[in-house]
Amino acid sequence: MRAELRTLPGDLADAVARRLVAAGLAEDPEQAYEFALDARRLASRVGVVREACGIAAYRAGRWADALTELRTARRLTGRGGYLPLMADCERALGRPDRALAIIHDSGVRDLDREVQIELRIVESGIRRDEGRSAAAVVALQVPELTDGRLRPWSARLFYAYADALFEAGRVEEARDWFGRAAAADTGEETDAAERYEDLDTAVFEDLAAPGDGGEATDDGRVADGGEATDDSEGVH
pLDDT number for residue 202: 64
- N residues, the chain: 236
Residue 211: domain span? 140-236
Mention every residue, 6+ apart, whose C-beta is less than 8 A from residue 106.
none
Residues 235 and 147 in one domain: yes
Overall number of domains in the chain: 2
In a domain, 215, yes or no: yes
Cα(236)–Cα(227) distance, integer angstroms: 25
- For the stretch 43-54, pLDDT in tens is 999 999 999 999
pLDDT number for residue 203: 56
In a domain, 39, yes or no: yes
Cα(28)–Cα(147) distance, integer angstroms: 38
pLDDT number for residue 1: 60
Tell me which residues of the chain have a pLDDT lower than 50: 204, 212-236
Torsion-angle region of 137 (φ positive above 0: left; ψ -120 to 50: alpha; else: beta)? alpha
Sheet strands (E) in the chain: 221-222, 226-227
Q: Which residue(s) pair with 221 in the sheet?
A: 227
